[in-house]
Amino acid sequence: MDKNEFCEIFRQLTGARAESCIEITQGNSSALKYKVSSNGHHWMAKMLEASTERIRWYNSLAEIHGLGLAIPDMYITPDESKLLLLSPFINGTGLDSLIEFSNPTIISEYGRQAAMLMKRLHHRTLINDNYSEDLKARVDQICNTVMMHRLSFPGLDACIDFVKSYSAFAHPGKLGALHRDVRPENFVVGEKGLSLIDFENGCVGELEADFVYLTTMGETKHRHFAKSLLLNYMDGCVTSEFWGKNLFYSTLQVMEYAVWKWETKQKQISCQAHNLMIQYNSLKSIEPLWWNEV
């Protein structure tokens, strides 16, 4: 789809003419992205393939409102094949570049502000009566796929045993809107303060699952920020229940990443699984080693 086609779809769905339309190429997303100016407003416009799951997700997001959450409005093309997502364009600086050279006090303050945004995102309870069954099916599928591809990575057997024995299948905690990519790169500091962007990978799930990148997958240089965010989000007390669920979802995500990398690039993972095993003492410790070192 070229820019002219994109602008025409924008006009058909919104009733407004795109006065300017600049393609944005950076980032890992597969979505078409444009900065669109129309009637004095500037938008981040994304075009995605439509699916029942995605439509359900953005309908869930529509129920959530909060300052600093760049939640997009959703438009569906007449043939129901595409989604157009519009959110205000934030002209700012990514938090990852700001905290890299900041002192601990400033980083802690950014963590506090980010925690407030996460509380706004998570405050509304969402319902999924089939969550336990869906989660168990997800675990079975990923374990079977790992075995089918004959994948091999550090701690594989421990990962499979751990996720299959997870005790929360029958008793999930509070469900809410999960961003699923909570990391400094997706926080932007603009004129109106800190904002959380890029909701296209989200889903409904247990809230503890939204911090996997910060606790397990993220870079070492971001751990001071991660600790500040979690402590402020948890009002100063990160519980063993949180760590247990976080470890489960961290392990599951590493396994899903292993499958994705094999199916898309025919490559095995190594360092992610190795780091998981080291940080959590081969899944015998629910609190990551770095937590008391920051």
Please report the DSSP string for 266-293 in residue order. S----HHHHHHHHHTTTTT-SS-GGGGT
> Collapsing DSSP states into helix, strand and coil, what is residue 17?
coil
Q: pLDDT digit string (tens) for 94-152?
A: 999 988 878 999 999 999 999 999 999 999 888 888 888 889 899 999 999 999 999 99
Quickly tell me which residue has 């990391």 as its tokens.
183
Give the whole-angstrom CA distance, residue 276 versus residue 278: 6
Residue 39 DSSP label: T
Print burial letters for 254-275: b (CB count within 10 Å at least 16), e (below 16).
Answer: bbeebbebbeeeeeebeebbeb
Give the whole-angstrom CA distance, residue 90 versus residue 157: 44
pTM for the full predicted model: 0.90
CA atoms within 13 A of residue 19's CA, in its CB half-sphere: 7
- Residue 27 clears pLDDT 70, i.e. is over it: no
Sign of the Cα pseudo-torsion (207, 142, 251, 50, in order) = negative
Q: pLDDT digit string (tens) for 69-96?
A: 999 999 999 999 999 999 988 889 999 9
Please report the DSSP string for 195-234 in residue order. EE---TT-EEEEGGGGGHIIIIIS-GGGHHHHHHHHHHHT
Task: Give residue 29's pLDDT.
Answer: 63
- Domains in the chain (CATH in brackets) are 3-88 (3.30.200.20), 93-292 (3.90.1200.10)
What pairs with residue 72 in β-bridges?
none
Count the helices and strands in the chain (H runs, E runs): 10, 10
Angle, vertex CA 195, rays to CA 121 and CA 235, nearest 5: 50
Give the whole-angstrom CA distance, residue 11 versus residue 45: 12
Q: pLDDT digit string (tens) for 239-279?
A: 998 999 999 999 999 999 999 999 999 999 999 999 999 99
Q: How confident is the model at residue 28 (pLDDT cuts 50, 70, 90)?
A: low
Rounded mean pLDDT of 180-208? 92
- Percent of the chain clearing pLDDT 90 (strictly above): 67
